[in-house]
Chain A
Amino acid sequence: GENVEQHPSTLSVQEGDSAVIKCTYSDSASNYFPWYKQELGKGPQLIIDIRSNVGEKKDQRIAVTLNKTAKHFSLHITETQPEDSAVYFCAASLAYSGAGSYQLTFGKGTKLSVIP
Chain B
Amino acid sequence: DTGVSQNPRHKITKRGQNVTFRCDPISEHNRLYWYRQTLGQGPEFLTYFQNEAQLEKSRLLSDRFSAERPKGSFSTLEIQRTEQGDSAMYLCASSLGGGWGGRSTPPNEQYFGPGTRLTVT
Contacts and interface: CB of A to CB of B under 8 A. Distances in A.
Contact of A89 (B4, B42, B45): B42
Interface residues of A, number: 31
Interface of B: 4, 6, 31, 33, 35, 40-45, 48, 50, 55-56, 58, 91, 95, 97, 100-101, 103-104, 107-115
A43 B107 contact: no
A69 interface: no
Question: Dominant SS at the A interface?
Answer: loop
B42 A107 contact: yes
A108 B33 contact: no
Contacts of A34: 108-110
Contact of B91 (A44, A49, A51): A44
A96 B104 contact: yes
Given A98-B100, A100-B50, A103-B33, A89 B110 contact: no
4 shortest A-B CB distances, which residue pairs? A106-B42, A95-B107, A43-B112, A103-B45
Interface string A29-65: 0011010100001111110010100000000000000
Nearest to B58: A103
Given A43-B112, A102-B48, A103-B56, A95 B42 contact: no
B107 A96 contact: yes
Given A32-B107, A43-B91, A109-B40, A104 B113 contact: no
A21 to B, nearest CB: 13
